[in-house]
Amino acid sequence: MKAASLFLFLCVAANLFAQAAPEVKLTVAAVGPRAVEPRTEQSLVRDYAAAWKSLADASESNTPALLNAYFAGAARTNFGRLVNDQQKIGTHIRYLNQVHNLKAVFYAPEGDVMQLQDSAEYQMQIVSGDKVIQDEHVVVQYIVLITPGADRWMVRQIQAVPAQ
């Protein structure tokens, strides 16, 4: 009986922290001056989704180290500060039902940087203890600078901009 109870507890706990992977779509038709190769397009979608998943996990668990795999530079610093600040005041943020529609607008000839526009939509919950204190449907536009790392794309800069 103890084993069954422990298994049930672990399944429930895993469900609480397992958030669905963000949905990411990428349009590369108008990018320049360099074209985006199909394998690059696939890895961009995979890594951008993983970056937002790591942000969601870091914010949910108040663990800034989870940002290290997909964020660098100003993006890592700013999101790390956000997670540290929410940790200090005893809250955390949940990013749920994420949809990101990316448009590649610039890809450097050397392949060392890409600028993306992200039309993002998600549910954001601010939680204190077990209580949701704010629940908001967010629609936001981001400008993103992403660069290749050793084996993945890294988000280096991300800035919300007014909707056009």
Please give the pLDDT value at position 18: 52
Longest dimension (CA), the chain: 64
Q: Where are the domains of the chain?
A: 22-161
Q: What is the pTM of this model?
A: 0.87
The H or E element spanning position 86 is helix 73-89
The 153-161 sheet, strands edge to edge: 23-27, 91-107, 114-128, 131-148, 153-161
- Block means of pLDDT (10 residues each) for the chain, 164 residues, are 42 48 95 95 97 97 97 98 96 97 98 97 95 97 97 97 78
Q: Give me 37's structure tokens.
A: 């190769």
Q: Measured between alpha carbons, how far is 69 from 4 in angstroms, rounded to an integer? A: 35
Q: Give the CATH architecture of domain 22-161.
A: Roll (3.10)
Q: CB under 8 Å to 27, separation ≥6 — which residues?
A: 101, 102, 103, 104
pLDDT of residue 164: 66
